[in-house]
Structure 1
Amino acid sequence: MKVDKKSWQEGYEAGLRQQEAEPENTEVLSWHAGFLEGQAEVETKIKTHREQLRRKKP
């Protein structure tokens, strides 16, 4: 499968914003792949932040 970079980037940015509205004129599979990557990035940052907060508590 060839990934459409523009569609992937749009999906990735939507995933970072946690907005699931797929725009018109995008390659669907590329957009969703980017979206999932963006969501994973956000969840990793949230998990890391929570772990850091737990370590700071006495």
Structure 2
Amino acid sequence: MKVDKKSWQQGYEAGLRQQESQPENTDVLSWHAGFLEGQEETEMKIKTHREQSRRKKS
């Protein structure tokens, strides 16, 4: 599968913002692949932040 870099980047940025609105004229698979990666990165940052907050309170 060939990834459309522009569509992937748009999906990635949408994933970081947690906004699932896919723009028209993007490659569906590339956009969703980028979205999932951006979403995962955001979730990891939130998880890390929570763990650090818990440690500071202890």
What TM-score do the two structures reach when normalised by structure 1?
0.98
1:43 corresponds in structure 2 to 43
Q: Which digits, 9 at most, give the CA deviation of each residue in 1:3-51, with x for residues without a partner? A: 0000000000000011000000000000000000000000000000000
Instruction: Structure 1: give runs of 5+ residues left out of the alignment.
Output: none
Structure 2 residue 55 is the aligned partner of structure 1 residue 55: yes
- Over the aligned positions, Cα root-mean-square deviation in angstroms equals 0.5
| Count of paired positions | 58
Aligned to 2:38, what secondary structure does the other structure show?
helix
Q: Within 1, Cα distance between the matches of 2:18 and 2:57?
A: 29
Sequence identity percentage: 84
Q: Within 2, Cα distance between the matches of 1:17 and 1:46?
A: 12
Q: Within 2, Cα distance between the matches of 1:21 and 1:50?
A: 27
Q: Within 2, Cα distance between the matches of 1:43 and 1:17?
A: 11
